Amino acid sequence: MGRQRVGGVNQDAAVALDLPQGGLYAVADGMGGHAAGELAANLALDTLTQHFLDSRGPAPERLAGAVQAANLAVVRHAVGESVGMGTTLLAALVDRGAVLIAHVGDSRAYLLRGGELQRLTDDHSWVAEQVRLGFLTEEEARHHQWKSVVSNALGGEERVRLELFGLPLRSGDRLLLCSDGLSGVVDGPALESLLSRSDDPEQLARVLINAANDAGGPDNITAVVVDIARDAGLPRYALPERSGNGPEYVDVLLNSRRGSSMLTYLLLTLGYFTLLGVILIPEHRTVSALLGLGLLVAVLAGQRWLQARSRPAPRQPGRVAGRLSGARASRAAGPDERPRDLG
Tens of pLDDT, residue by residue over 150-177, are 889 999 888 889 999 999 999 999 999 9
| Residue 281, pLDDT score | 63
Same domain, 204 and 279: no
Same domain, 182 and 323: yes
| Residue 273, pLDDT score | 57
Amino acid (1-letter code) at residue 315: R
Cα 265 to chain centroid distance, Å, stands at 28
- Contact of 6 with 335, CB cutoff 8 Å: yes
Same domain, 220 and 288: no
Same domain, 97 and 183: yes
Across the range 285-298, mean pLDDT stands at 62
Same domain, 272 and 144: no
For 83, other C-beta atoms within 10 Å of its C-beta total 11
- Quick check: is 4 in a domain? no
Same domain, 275 and 143: no
Same domain, 225 and 295: no
Amino acid (1-letter code) at residue 292: G
The single-letter DSSP state of residue 151 is: S
Distance, in Å, from the CA atom of 220 to the CA atom of 180, rounded to the nearest integer, reads: 8
- Quick check: is 120 in a domain? yes
- Quick check: is 3 in a domain? no
Across the range 196-223, mean pLDDT stands at 90
| Residue 145, pLDDT score | 82
Q: Considering the entire predicted model, what is its pTM?
A: 0.75
Same domain, 174 and 259: no
Same domain, 229 and 262: no
Distance, in Å, from the CA atom of 9 to the CA atom of 74, rounded to the nearest integer, reads: 18
Number of structural domains (the chain) is 2
- Quick check: is 134 in a domain? yes
Same domain, 190 and 56: yes
Same domain, 288 and 143: no
Distance, in Å, from the CA atom of 14 to the CA atom of 326, rounded to the nearest integer, reads: 7
Which range (37-41, 113-117, 138-142, 196-200) has the least confidence?
138-142
Distance, in Å, from the CA atom of 125 to the CA atom of 147, rounded to the nearest integer, reads: 8
pLDDT band at residue 284 under the 50/70/90 scheme: low
Which of 310, 210, 202 lies closest to 255, judged by CA? 310
| Residue 93, pLDDT score | 98
- Quick check: is 341 in a domain? no
Query: What percentage of the chain carries pLDDT values higher than 90?
Result: 47
- Quick check: is 338 in a domain? no
Residue 261 is part of which domain span?
A: 254-310
The SS3 call for residue 337 is: coil
- Is pLDDT above 90 for 24? yes
Query: Among the ranges 228-237, 255-264, 321-330, 331-340, which has the highest mean pLDDT value?
Result: 228-237
Sign of the CA dihedral running 136, 140, 145, 151:
positive
Same domain, 214 and 228: yes
- Quick check: is 2 in a domain? no
First vs last Cα of the chain: how many Å apart? 34
- Quick check: is 50 in a domain? yes
| Residue 176, pLDDT score | 98
Beta strands 222-227 and 330-333: pairing type? antiparallel
